[in-house]
Amino acid sequence: MFKGSLVALITPFRDGKVDEKGFQSFVDWQIAQGTHGLIPVGTTGESPTLSHDEHKRVVELCIEVAKGKRPVIAGTGSNSTEEAISLTKHAKKAGADAALIVTPYYNKPTQDGLYAHYEAIAKAVDIPIVIYNIPGRSVVDMTVQTMARLAKLPNIVGVKDATNDLQRPVRTKLACGDKFSLLSGEDGTALAFLAASGHGCISVTANVAPRMLADMHEAWQKGDVKTAQRINETLMPLHEALFCETSPGPVKYAASLLGIGSDEVRLPLVAASETARQRVREAMQSAGLLNESAPRRKAG
């Protein structure tokens, strides 16, 4: 079962290309900081604008550094089932521990279509699969009932729930069982998600506050609720700031303040505005993060 603080990794660019050395240095730092799991090429990793070759290479780069030290859950989703199968096959071959597969965006499949999509991938590739349910970006919401049907397949093992509906984790646990990993996809409600039967969070904020978030989850697991609450309260302004504009613009700027790459993103996204930068900078300072030790290699 996946649990704790898992990071939805940004993909650093240098002059429009993936900064491979910078990315691997970043992954190594995440491990040193205590992050419990690594997710390359999710939405935060700008998977929609990476070529297939770049996508596969980023997965490989992450696995090379992780080397069994931390689980790697590779983003392999697509709104084409055949493409998702192809990317998932590559992730398995490369040595990923699991695949994170987003509900098909734009197509707006029915619940039966969602079931058929994941069933086809699960049957084609023998790898643990985490469903990524994010209605705000994919414009389709997988119901608990559909998820319960999928949970009966042996390699559908959990969900990244970005619905922000705090009834969902309890309802999903009751429908899918205790062994189904319940991972929040929303930093701002992650602690409340844990209190509602959740196991962890696939986090954007962990890109820049990995140690604090690892500490928060570990405190929760030990029953130290006060420490978990204190960390959550300290980071709440940063959680909000990192989504004041479309992600990953703000978090890439936040990472650049730590010397982790540049704030370069790919069109149609643009770098965070000056208003957003100021808000992010103030939140980083408030959280005490700008003095943190981080990889200082610039990627741009």
Q: Looking at the annotation, which residues are catalytic? A: 132, 160
CA distance 128 to 253: 33
Please report, as a single letter, which amino acid is at residue 7: V
Q: Pick from 60, 77, 232: which is nearest to 140 by CA?
A: 77
Is the separation of the CB atoms in 4 and 34 below 8 Å?
Answer: no
Cα 68 from Cα 172, distance rounded (Å)? 29
